Structure 1
Amino acid sequence: MPNRTHRPRARMATALGALSLALVLGGCSMETTSPADARKHPAPASDDARPGAGRGAKPPLPAAGTADCGKDKCIALTFDAGPGKDTPRLLDILKEEKVPATFFLLGKNHVLKHPDTVRRMAAEGHEVANHTWSHRRLDQLKKDEIREELSLTQDAIADITGRKPRLMRPPQGRINDDVTEVSKELGLSQVLWSATAKDFSTTDSALIKKRIIDQAGRDGIILLHDIYDGTVPAVPGIIAELKKRGYTFVTVPQLLQPGAPEPGTVYRP
């Protein structure tokens, strides 16, 4: 599924630290915000009154680490389209390595099928986020359909964890003005990525590791899928090598601190 978000790392390097980039996705020119720019705008002391939080929403979980990404060499590990059968093993690995992650979850056949895993993600300090209900390309939908794709998953996750997500990742990274408007309405920031293993195309764990290591960079956002057979076995090696290279793992919101995710904003390294 080729798109402009899968550029080679060499092109991505010029984006790091930029205030914003013009990005064409879904046929519409969109502005993106880098983690470095987000950190320049500290959030208010209380960030619990965000739009779309909904009844029964709880404050965000405490940060899993104490990284200062303005100084430290931070990177965010993210997983799309789960949870799946291998996600509990992934959570075991992350717990053992003391690595927080961000999980962009699918509602239909995933969140509903694995509520205990979703509950565990939240309890162990990971960021639980939205990857739509059924993985339809949002830029091809009408506003009401976009709203339904996101709202159903918001509600399903809130029923399990007690709070609605504050982040979403659009399938294939495809967005347009309607997606941004609905995301803002629902209190959701849009999160893209800088490194992908394209693990939907291979079960070779060594290759998945190599692709991620080759693309890794400071303030990076790594895209993996915990539903494919080769991915979870690759994670220990990815973590070990990046730690060896001096990286500190954080969730996406931690990558933005002291800023906070802004509803509707598109974040991309």
Structure 2
Amino acid sequence: MLKNTARSIRTRAAAGLVTAAALTLALAGCGQDSTSPKEARGRADNTAEVKAAAGANPQGAVDCAKAKCIALTFDAGPGPHTPQLLDILKEKKVHATFFLLGRKHVDTYPDTVRRAAAEGHEIANHTWTHQRLDQLKPDEIRSELDRTQQAVKKLTGHEPTLMRPPQGRTNDKVKAVAKELGLAQVLWSATAKDYATTDSALIRKRILDQAGRDGIILLHDIYDGTVPAVPGIIDELKRRGYTFVTVPQLLAPGTPQPGTLYRP
């Protein structure tokens, strides 16, 4: 009986490890190769590409090969809490990357989108309706991404160059459409799972526990507990010596390449 129980525990544990491994592979892009920020910087052509990166990042003279950089990113907004978040970022002198949803977000809070862009934040694409792109046909993937591209361009005058696939789920079809639309894919290294808690202290702790050099933090400014956690996250990471940058600044002097999957 004891042997059977031990065998059952080992079996469940092994199944859990397989599930965790499968999830890790899925979030890594379903077999797609990924490029780290360090690799992106190392691959940069020190002529034309460097000049292009400098022109694309007028506020960004940060050299992340030397500085201890980290990128703060927010998904699925804008929403009612985003103006408060922008106030915090302005006060803390931090620029973030916003992966915006189209329906009920970009089209509902146009002034917030304009403000974020005007204040120097990177505006990126998180699809139109937050469907899993890896489950869609190419034409459907194209529609999900391009509708948000055009909505952002109408408000800011510029189409995004970055996208984040919902749930981090991507595949070769997504890569091909992203490349066609001029979009690099960006995943993350730290997440608070803030969609599942309103505990700001817990959100702060989870991010601080996972933070690392060249990291990309994933948060959602649409949830009640997230924005109140941001000042503490910024203050503590600055105390630890981090410099906050946008995703393009993290990759500079490399520039985000359409279709490429970036992940720390």
TM-score class normalised by the smaller sequence = 0.7 to 0.9
Q: Tell me which protein shows more helix as a share of its residues.
A: 2
Question: Which consecutive residues of structure 1, in runs of 5 or more, have no partner in the other structure?
Answer: 8-22, 49-58
Choose from 192, 195, 199 the match for 1:197: 192
Label 1:159 to 1:198 Cα distance change in 2 as closer, same or farther (>3 A).
same
Counterparts of residues 76-225 of structure 1 (less than 5 Å)? 76-225=71-220
SS in 2 for 1:241: helix
Q: Once the 2 structures are TM-superposed, how far is the Cα of residue 26 of structure 1 from its aligned partner?
A: 9.0
Contact in 1 for aligned 2:162/2:183 (Cα 8 Å): yes
SS in 2 for 1:163: coil
Partner AA of 1:38 in structure 2: A
2:14 alignment counterpart: none
1:33 alignment counterpart: 35
TM-score by length of 1: 0.86
TM-score by length of 2: 0.87
Contact in 1 for aligned 2:57/2:249 (Cα 8 Å): no
Which portions of structure 1, spanning 4 or more consecutive aligned residues, are displaced by more than 3 angstroms? 2-7, 23-28, 45-48
SS in 2 for 1:164: coil
Q: Once the 2 structures are TM-superposed, how far is the Cα of residue 95 of structure 1 from its aligned partner?
A: 0.4
Label 1:161 to 1:87 Cα distance change in 2 as closer, same or farther (>3 A).
same
1:253 alignment counterpart: 248
Label 1:216 to 1:244 Cα distance change in 2 as closer, same or farther (>3 A).
same
Q: Kindly, what percent of the aligned residue pairs are identical?
A: 70
Contact in 2 for aligned 1:36/1:256 (Cα 8 Å): yes
Q: Once the 2 structures are TM-superposed, how far is the Cα of residue 47 of structure 1 from its aligned partner?
A: 4.0
Q: Once the 2 structures are TM-superposed, how far is the Cα of residue 66 of structure 1 from its aligned partner?
A: 2.4
SS in 2 for 1:118: helix
Tell me the distance in 2 between the aligned counterparts of 1:263 and 1:157. Answer: 18
SS in 1 for 2:216: strand
Q: Once the 2 structures are TM-superposed, how far is the Cα of residue 6 of structure 1 from its aligned partner?
A: 7.5
Tell me the distance in 2 between the aligned counterparts of 1:79 and 1:4. Answer: 25
Tell me the distance in 1 between the aligned counterparts of 2:28 and 2:69. Answer: 29
Contact in 2 for aligned 1:119/1:160 (Cα 8 Å): yes
Partner AA of 1:128 in structure 2: I
